[in-house]
Copies of this chain bind each other. A is one copy, B any other.
Amino acid sequence: MNTSAKSDDSDAAFPRPQHRYGARPTMKDVAARAGVGLKTVSRVVNGEAGVTADTEQRVKDAIAALGFRRNDSARVLRKGRTASIGLVLEDLADPFYAPLNRAVEEVARAHGALLINGSSAEDADRERELALAFCARRVDGLIVIPAGSDHRYLEPEMAAGIATVFVDRPAGLIDADVVLSDSFGGARDGVAHLIAHGHRRIGFIGDQPRIHTATERLRGYRAAMAEAGLPVDDAWVSLGTTAAGRVREEAARMLAGPEPVTALFTGNNRVTVTAVRVIAAAPRPVALVGFDDLELADLLSPAVTVVAQDAARLGRTAAERLFRRLDGVAEPPRRVELPTRLIARGSGELPPAA
């Protein structure tokens, strides 16, 4: 069996069940219809020299008439590259990840690669399952927003040549490229902004404590409070799921009692959306700074002050790093931290309620 002669004729090499897949035209069919040899068809399909213009046209006519299509999935396997990359996100439905997803797609597209992606749903097992499924399809590279904290399961894949870059959160227990936003610095700036506007009792509501960005932002909150010489009451800090019910309860709790917080710092876009709703219904104004920008944040009353990260840039930077790796750049793993930007719009500049 001569594998190379089958180069564009994978239906013969990999027969499909006929009850489902109709008979795809093969290169043999094209050759027969055009009245040329298999090698000539192969040359035309692969854009190689050595075919007269007239013959090329005959082959192209036959291809068009038969609806012949090259089978890239067999082709790329033989080439050792699949021209595809895998992206494990937290949630394809989260608007924060949508621009990151698109940015990765655009870089992949510029490199002629397709994008396979999926949601970990913040579940370490599902992240692992997805990442390994992508590897089993022999993606050339992998971009992972980690849900889990132990990525040693990827070591054999990386050793076998699957370029891997982590984004938004670092890898756990392995040394790998990572692209992050400056969660610590961004949160510290946002909380310092509230302190500068007179707040002393500031609540922090963030994501689950096993998520790197959640603890980094909490660290930023604590740093800003400490730098201002302000104590932090345990009742002012709440990490947990971003489910609306939990955030609503925690915000309401912090805003109640004889010594309520006068301001909230929210750890991500999901938390901010719920906090905005709670504050809108509160009896007195509550200042708010949220991590992550929101589409209509500028139109709310007050408009929402945020610490914005550039999700598209995160995705682009990670994807560019990945393709540099695929181009053979052999540097030690690098940690890239992108700056955040405080956008003052009104909610973060409210003074403490009397």
Contact = CB atoms under 8 A, between A and B. Distances in A.
Interface of A: 1, 3, 10, 13-17, 19-25, 66-74, 77-78, 80, 82, 84, 91-95, 97-99, 101-103, 105, 109, 114-119, 132-138, 155-157, 159-161, 273, 276-277, 280, 294-297, 299-301, 312, 326, 328
Contacts of A78: 14
A80 B296 contact: no
A66 B115 CA distance: 29
B295 A300 contact: no
B296 A276 contact: yes
Nearest to A23: B160
**How many identical chains are in the complex?**
2
Given A95-B95, A114-B116, A118-B105, A73 B73 contact: yes
A119 to B, nearest CB: 6
A103 B172 CA distance: 29
B74 A77 contact: yes
A51 B277 CA distance: 60
A290 to B, nearest CB: 12
Contacts of A118: 105, 109, 114-115
Contacts of A24: 160-161
A273 B296 contact: yes
